[in-house]
Amino acid sequence: MLTLVIGNKNYSSWSLRPWIYLKQHGIAFNEVNVLLYQGDYQAQLARYTPAGKVPVLVDGATTVWDSLAILEYLAERFADLALEHQDQLMNALIEEIGTPINLTANHVDTPVNFLRWFAEEAWKPWKCLLPS
């Protein structure tokens, strides 16, 4: 199961970004709140990341920090969610930006396929996920 280590939701908007993504998509995760700048917060963070900052996503042996890197990781890890909800996404695109119905499928499929391709290519030279 995923573990998301975050700071205070009222003051740490960077922490809130992956938290909102996970909640919005109904992805199960454990939430660990670290009270930043209080007590031994640095030791608490060191258990999850060498960066010493929040947010941190732990997925088994994979640790990702930086909110944008976490969002990209989640988008790739759960790319099938976009395809499962393709009809809703297509309708939103039609209503939001007036995309013709015959082009909306490309707006959903292309980003998902791009993320999958890039994730596979990133593995080839290094045989591992690169740290952010």
Q: How confident is the model at residue 28 (pLDDT cuts 50, 70, 90)?
A: very high
Long-range (24+ apart) CB contacts under 8 A made by 40-46 are: 45/5
Q: Residue 75: which residues within 8 A CB-CB, separation 6 or more? A: 82, 115
> What's the pTM?
0.64
CB 100 within 8 A of CB 126: no
Provide the pLDDT for residue 6. 92
Check residue 114 and give its pLDDT: 65
Task: Assign 87 a pLDDT band (cuts: 50, 70, 90).
Answer: confident
pLDDT, tens digit, 9 for 90 and up, residues 57-69: 999 989 998 888 8
CA dist 52 and 13 (Å) reads: 17
